[in-house]
Structure 1
Amino acid sequence: MNERPTYQEALRRTGLLGVLAPFDPHVVGTLPLGVARPDSDIDIVCSATDLPAAVGLIWKHFGENESFAVHQWSAKGRPVTATFEAYGWPFEIFISSTPVQDQAGWRHFEVERRLLSLGGPAFHTAICELRAEGVKTEPAFACVLKLEGDPYAVLYDLFSTSNDQLTAILRAQGFAAGRIQEA
C-alpha cells in the first residue's frame, strides 16, 4: 500500500509553486501551521492582475487532475479558486487581484503562526484538540483565546497587533509566551 507523501513532497512533485511563480504563491493554512487534520488540504494564495491568464495557466497544467474545478464568485474582490487532487492530497488555490500580503488568507495565516509561536505547547495542543473535534481554524483560535465576534474578522484585525499585545492576549488565557520563529 502506498502512503501519501508529505504535503511538501506533493507540492514538489506537482511543480505547482513553479507554475504559480509569476503570481507570488504562498502556502498557507493548517499544514504549515502544524494544526492540520487528516482531511486538510494544501492551501495556496496568489495574486494576479490578469485573473483569466492565471486561471488559464492553472487549467493548462492541472486541468486533467482528479476533481479539477475552478470557481469565481460574482462579488467584487472575491478570489478565483481552483481545486484538484494530486498525490493523495486535495489542493486549493486562491487567486486574487489583491496583493498576497493584503489577502485575508495570508493575514489569518500570519497571525495564527505568530500566536502558535508565542503561545507555547499548551496553546498548540488546545488548538489541535478543537481542530480534531472538527472546529475550523479561525473559530478554534477565537475560542481558545476567548475572542468575541466574528472569528475571521477578529483574526484579520489581529494581523497588525504587536507581539507584545498578542502575548498579553495569550497570557490572559493562561498560555506562557514562547518565541517567534522566523518562517
Structure 2
Amino acid sequence: MVINFRDITYLKEGTVRQKEAHKVLLELNIFELLKHFNPILVGTIPINIDVTSSDLDIICQSDNHEDLIKVVSENYGEFLRFEVKTIPSYKNLKTTIITLEYKTFPIEIFVQNKLPEEQDSYLHMLVEYQVLVKAGEEFRSKIITLKQQGLKTEPAFAKLLNLEGNPYEALLTYGFEKGYIS
C-alpha cells in the first residue's frame, strides 16, 4: 500500500501514536494554518518507527521565511520550548527551523524554498518506507531497537543496510539506485 503523505488522514488508521499525532495536528489546525507553505508531515511517526522521544516533523516551502515565522509565532508563540532558528545556508538554501511542544509531542517545522517532495527529509522517509515495506517487521523492530539505543534514523538504516560513508547521503544514493525515489 502506498501512503499519500500529503494527506494526514492515514494517521487515523494507524498505531496509537499515529492516532494521537493526528488528533494533535487537528487540534492545532496546523496544516490548515500552513496550507500556503505546502506542509508535509515527515519523519518516523508517519512510517511507524518512532520512539518515545520522536517529534512531529513538518516540512514547508517558502521563499519568505518571515511570513511563515509570523504565522507560526502568532498562533503558537506561547507554546512550551518555542524557538526559531534560521541557518543562512544549508545545502545552499536558507533554512528556518521552528520548534515547539504541544501535549506529548515536540514539533519541528522546517522551511526551505524548495518543494517539500524534493527536500532530503521527505526523500529519506520515502526510501525508509519502501525499505520497511520490503524488509518486513523484523527489520522494523531492529530499526526501533537501534533508535532506542540512541542512533538517529538514517544511521540506523545505513547500519542495517550496510551502507558506507555519510548515512544521510548513502541512504539517498541507495534510494535512487533501488528506484525508490527518482
What does 1:2-151 align with in structure 2 at a 5 Å threshold? Answer: 6-75=20-89, 76-151=92-167
4+ aligned runs moved over 6 Å, structure 1: none
SS of corresponding position for 2:172: helix
Letter in 2 for 1:143: K
Work out which of the two has the higher radius of gyration on C-alpha atoms and give 1 or 2: 1
Q: How far did 1:7 drift?
A: 1.4
Instruction: Give percent identity, aligned residues only.
Output: 30
Query: In structure 2, the residue corresponding to 1:134 is in which secondary structure?
Result: coil
Taking only aligned residues, the RMSD between alpha carbons, in angstroms, comes to 1.7
Is residue 163–residue 171 contact of structure 2 (8 Å, CA) maintained in 1?
A: no
How far apart, CA to CA, are the structure 2 residues paired with 1:11 and 1:87? 11
Secondary structure of 1:73 counterpart:
strand
1:157-182 CA distance string (max 9 Å, x none): 23323358xxxxxxxxxxxxxxxxxx
How many residues align structurally? 161
Once the two structures are superposed, residues 9-66 of structure 1 have per-residue CA deviations (whole angstroms, 9 ceiling, x without a partner) of 1111111111111111110101111111101111011111221111111111111111
TM-aligned CA distance change 1:110 to 1:78, over 3 Å: farther
Q: How far, CA to CA, are the matches of 2:175 and 2:116 in structure 1?
A: 13
**Which fold has the larger relative contact order, with Cα–Cα distance below 8 Å and residues 6 or more apart in sequence?**
1
Q: TM-score normalized by structure 1? A: 0.82
Q: What is the deviation of 1:88?
A: 2.2
Equivalent in the alignment of 1:179: none
